Amino acid sequence: MTEMKKKSLENLVKTNGLDLTVNIPESVVVSRQKVRYRSIGSNLSQITFELSNGESWVAPQSSYLKFKVTSSGGDIDFTNDGGAWELFSTVRFIHNSGTELAHDKHRSRYQYARGRTEKTVSWKDVVGIMAGVNSTLVDGVTQTFHVPLNMLCSLFDSEMKYCPSYILAGGRFELERESASNLQGTATSFAFEDVELVMDELVLADDVINAMNSLSAKGDLVWKSYSYEEQLVNASGNQVSLQLSKSLGRVYEVLLTTQTDTSTRPEGNGGGASVWETSQFRINNTYFPAQECTDVKQRYLQHYDARHADGEIFDYTFTDYGTTTVVKQTLERNQVLPKSTSGAHLSSSSSLQFYGKLAVAPSANRIVTMWAIHCKMITPYGNQKVIVEM
């Protein structure tokens, strides 16, 4: 059959709706269910979960922490894009071998600064509302919240859809409570009840499990998540400088905020975006941006560039940005490649530096915090051992 006749026949088949779609005879997933874990122990300052030793994989995007909470002595304020994740200060996940896969300090501060400028209006209205975004926890009134795991822990902050059982099975998930004095509002304390970790677990077909076991045994199965390293300084004058010296592999983004106390809100009392007169980041002899930033609109465009490079919707307006002190800078990267394989290399012999000038010298010490966001690669060897690479 000539190529022309073949093409004509294909068009005729499609026009008359005679083309067929053949279904795959066997699904990759045998079953899927929401598995609930209850917290163990009675430690008032820490909530702990121990996961089962199964072969289920987990979908982090549809897994969450569910709990009831009641404030005392006043309200807790989650307005201005806050949320119930602010009730937790430090989060850890420990592999069954004892290796620490995540240790997120000041997670609520980081997530507030990042989430406020990244989460879309539709996310806040659909997913965020379940996590208490823009709500108020009224004194004495018990409310229920569902907080997505990727908002709570860096291990689950990933572009990958399903986390392997080799990483999670038999693991330990720990969350430390935030102090009520660090929350927005007048509450003097708060109490949890009915705390559950709800995991969206999938059981794979036997042949798929066998293939995954083979990959894991050879070290060819990798889970990529996005973690951060924090550096802060108390600035007493106009000039501000920070330096982070640590081997982190590829850093794809830097986030910086200011605040006048240790509350969970990085910029609620910081004075807005105009608080910075100049700002610039540096790794060795490379500057980001190339020219020192002296304009609020330019800093806003840096936010846009960072979100555009990720291929995500950006609906954070310039007016909204004017109420924050967040400075975000995407580092040198190839937009064709995913975040995990692009960015600027930060080794033990180099350092990430920030130089900035405050428009007005603070009347009291101002806390400036910088987060270097990088990819963490976790390679499981069966259920017995994991190797973590920054």
The rounded distance, in Å, linking the Cα atoms of 258 and 265 is 10
Q: Is the pLDDT of residue 90 over 50?
A: yes
Q: How confident is the model at residue 234 (pLDDT cuts 50, 70, 90)?
A: confident
pTM (predicted TM-score): 0.84
Q: What is the mean pLDDT of residues 168-194?
A: 92
Tokens of 223: 């889970």
Answer yes or no: are the C-beta atoms of 378 and 117 closer than 8 Å: no
Query: What are the chain's domains?
Result: 29-221 (2.70.9.10), 225-378 (2.60.120.730)
The rounded distance, in Å, linking the Cα atoms of 366 and 258 is 7
Q: What is the pLDDT of residues 160-169, one digit of tens each?
A: 889 999 999 9
Q: Is the pLDDT of residue 2 over 60?
A: no
Q: What is the pLDDT of residues 27-80, one digit of tens each?
A: 788 889 999 999 986 567 889 999 988 888 999 989 999 999 999 999 999 988
Q: What is the pLDDT of residues 311-335, one digit of tens each?
A: 566 677 777 777 677 888 888 655 5
Task: Return the SS3 of 346.
Answer: strand
| Whole-number Cα distances in Å, 98 to 43, 63, 156, 380 | 21, 23, 18, 13
Q: What is the pLDDT of residues 127-159, one digit of tens each?
A: 889 999 999 999 999 999 999 999 999 999 998
Answer yes or no: are the C-beta atoms of 302 and 343 closer than 8 Å: no
**Pairing between β-strand 239-244 and β-strand 76-77 as defined by DSSP bridges:** unpaired
Instruction: Residue 45: name the closest of 107, 90, 112 by CA.
Output: 90
Instruction: Residue 71: name the closest of 193, 197, 174 by CA.
Output: 193
Answer yes or no: are the C-beta atoms of 229 and 250 closer than 8 Å: no
